[in-house]
Structure 1
Amino acid sequence: MSSARSRSESDPVRRALTAAVEHTRDAVVSIAAANPVILIDGRSGAGKTTLARELIAGWPLRGRVQSVALDAIYPGWDGLAEGVRTAQEAILRPHARGLIGVWQRWDWERGEYAEAHAVDPSLPLIVEGSGLLTAGTAPLGDIRIWLESPARTRRDRALLRDGDTYRPHWDRWARQEERHLVDDGPAQLATHVFAIP
C-alpha cells in the first residue's frame, strides 16, 4: 500500500467526502432518470466543489454531466441571494421545463457580467454553491445535498484555497450564509445531509 493511500485513508475529511460521493452516486443510479439534477449546498469551505468534482469524475450514468458553480454567478461579495435567484430562474427552471438555460459568468476582477453559458436540459446537471437550497430551488432538484462542517475547519480550508482574496470578505459572506440558514433551513430541504469534519 502506498503512503499516499494511507494518508488519504487516515484523513477524516477525505474519508467523509469519499463516503458522500459514494452515497450520491448510489442515489443517482436509484432515481433512474436520464437527466437528474443534483443540488449541493453548504457553507463556504464545507467541500461542495470537491464533492461535485469527484462526482463528475466518477459519474455513474452513460454520457456526460454538466455542472455549474455558483461562484461563477454570484454578482460580487454581497451577491449570495441574487446568485441563487439567478440559478433558479436561468438554469434550474428552464432545465425542469426541458428548455435550454442561459447564464452569464460574473467577472470578479472587473465587477461585471461576462460571457454567457448554455445548459442543456437533456443532460444531467450538478449545481453547487452556498445558499442553493431554498423553497424555490428544492423542488427543482432530484438529489439535494447539505454539507455540514464546523466553522473553524471550513474557514481554514477556504482561506487555504483562496487566501488573501477571500480573507477580508469572510465575515461579510458568512453573514449572508447565516441569513440563508435562518430563512431557508437548507438542511431540512436536503435529501442527503453529510457531515464533513
Structure 2
Amino acid sequence: MSNHHGKLGKRRQRSTGFTLIEMVITIMILSIVTGTSLVALTSAFNAMATAQAIAPLSLGGQIVMERILKELRNTHCNQITRLDNGKALQLIDNNGRTVKFHQINTTTQSIYMTYNNDNVNWLLGANVQADSLRFVVPTCDGTGQPVPQKPGLVTVSFTVFQRFPDNETVTLPFRSSVYVRSS
C-alpha cells in the first residue's frame, strides 16, 4: 500500500497549548508591564503625599499674606513705618490702632501681629523661615528703600517651609504688593 505523499504513517500532529519559549516571553512581557506600572504608581503616590503636605503650608502662607494686605489697605501711606531695616512694619489703621507685623528676633519661625503696642504678640503664621519677612515701603512721593517705586506701593515677602521626617525641606516663597492710600 502506498501513500500519496510518499511517507508512510508519518502525520504531523498539531499541538495545543503553549511552548516553553512562548511562556517565558509572556512572563517577561508581563514583568516589564508590571514593573513600569509600579514605578508610575509609586511616583503618583509620592506626588500626592507631597501635595497633601504642602497644601496646609500654602494655605497658611496665603492667610498670613491676606491679613497683612488687609491691614495695609486700611491705612494711609504717611502712616506706615518700616522698622528693623524692613524686617518689621508698623502702621496706624483707619480706627487709630497701631498695628505691627514682625518676627521676634531673627531666630523665630513665626510671624506675629501686635495691636496698640500692648506687648501681646498674636501669632499669624508658623513655619516661616527665620529672617525672611521683608517690607518694601516707598514714601508717599515715590522715593524709598531700597529702590524708588510707585507712590504707595508696599511689597511684602516671606518664605514658609515644611521639614519632612526624611529631612527633606520644601519652601514656598510668598510675595505680594498692594497700593495704600496716599492721603
- Normalising to structure 1: TM-score of the pair? 0.25
- Normalising to structure 2: TM-score of the pair? 0.27
Which of the pair has the greater relative contact order for Cα pairs under 8 Å at 6+ separation?
A: 1
Higher helix share: 1
Higher strand share: 2
Highest Rg: 1 or 2? 2
